[in-house]
Amino acid sequence: GAGVSQSPSNKVTEKGKDVELRCDPISGHTALYWYRQSLGQGLEFLIYFQGNSAPDKSGLPSDRFSAERTGGSVSTLTIQRTQQEDSAVYLCASSPGQGLNGYTFGSGTRLTVV
Amino acid sequence: GQQVMQIPQYQHVQEGEDFTTYCNSSTTLSNIQWYKQRPGGHPVFLIQLVKSGEVKKQKRLTFQFGEAKKNSSLHITATQTTDVGTYFCAGHTGNQFYFGTGTSLTVIP
């Protein structure tokens, strides 16, 4: 597609439920990042995929968080047993190569855990 | 660990006044990128600087990369209401890509 697509745009879930967030990067972009942004806050790095290399998971806040990237394209971020502190906007960004000419962000998924 | 701090955190200016945000990294960056996030929106890439001491301009926006490649600044001349948003710097250290804490700009008409 023309841009980075994220779905759903909004998700309300009950505490303790699992959620899956999807990111469709721009076709051909090898680099893909997931960030989390709480209201009025900065961007918290979660995970980084680059081509077929092993992902950099160093930003995942707990073992309840995991992410996959199938076929070097679509990525799914899964949060198990959601907690209220997981409420935030989850942003995906992609870039060709190493991102040395900027990243394109999706519109994000606003997750609310009630 | 790596930290990229921005000051100020918030800035309110009258329309027509100038605005500057400063970005400081705890380690040397291979490049610096700037993004703008409008309220309710997502970050949008503005520009990248790579060379030590580099200065780039986009209309009323002037971007600088420090000599030591550890700091950067964004200066907006004669702000307009369309400049409202949060400005983030970001940079690469190796394969890691770090965002600054952001400066939220409010422009009062």
Q: Tens digit of pLDDT for each residue in A71-94?
A: 879 999 999 999 999 999 999 999
Q: Tens digit of pLDDT for each residue in B21-43?
A: 999 999 999 999 999 999 999 99
DSSP annotation string for A54-89:
PPB-TT--STTEEEEEGGGS-EEEEE-S--GGG-EE
Q: Give, in order, the Cα–Cα distances in Å from A105 to each of A54, B29, B72.
A: 22, 21, 22
Cβ distance of A102 and B41 shorter than 8 Å? no
CB proximity A39 to B under 8 Å: no
Using the predicted structure, report yes or no on whether residue A68 has a pLDDT greater than 80: yes
Q: Which residues of chain B have pLDDT under 70?
A: 1-2
Cβ distance of B88 and A45 shorter than 8 Å? no
Cβ distance of B44 and A99 shorter than 8 Å? no
Band (pLDDT 50/70/90 cuts) for residue A97 is confident
φ/ψ (deg, to 5) at A71: 60, 20
The stretch A38-46 carries a mean pLDDT of 88
